[in-house]
Amino acid sequence: MLYILGNRRDYDRWEQQLGCEGWGWRSVLPYFINPRTTAIPGSPTMVTDIYQLLHSRNVYGCYHGGGGYLTVSTPPYASPLAHAFVQAEETLGYPNIDLNGPIQSGEYN
């Protein structure tokens, strides 16, 4: 299963263009963060290493919850094919992003 907050622009459009009051990004973000606990997988893989690096630097800490009933984590294993994709994307200069952060255009592993 994949957990993604959704794109900020979509929520803001719903509120501004469709008149859905209370559905803008700033209004809905707490509902995504508060019930969530972001967990670091236990297996030492590239996915875990990148995840730990991002969170040790608190890159997007305000987008990740703690103490909630829904636990979200990255998979404990990444296949060799996944590693090859990540290396190819890095070679091409795509930024490594956090899909649940403020920017969703780039490469995510």
- The reported pLDDT for the residue numbered 3 is 78
- The reported pLDDT for the residue numbered 51 is 55
- The reported pLDDT for the residue numbered 57 is 47
Segments in the chain below pLDDT 70: 38-62, 64-66, 105-109
Sign of CA dihedral 82, 57, 93, 91: negative
Provide the whole-model pTM. Answer: 0.61
Burial class of residue 38 (count of CB atoms within 10 Å of its CB; 0-12, 13-18, 19+): buried
- The reported pLDDT for the residue numbered 86 is 79
CB-based contact 104:97 (threshold 8 Å): yes
CA distances from residue 88 to 9, 23, 75 in whole angstroms, order as listed: 29, 37, 20
- The reported pLDDT for the residue numbered 42 is 57
Distance between CA 20 and CA 11 in Å, rounded?
9
63, 61, 49, 62: which is closest to 96 by C-alpha? 49
* Token code pair at residue 77: 């294993």
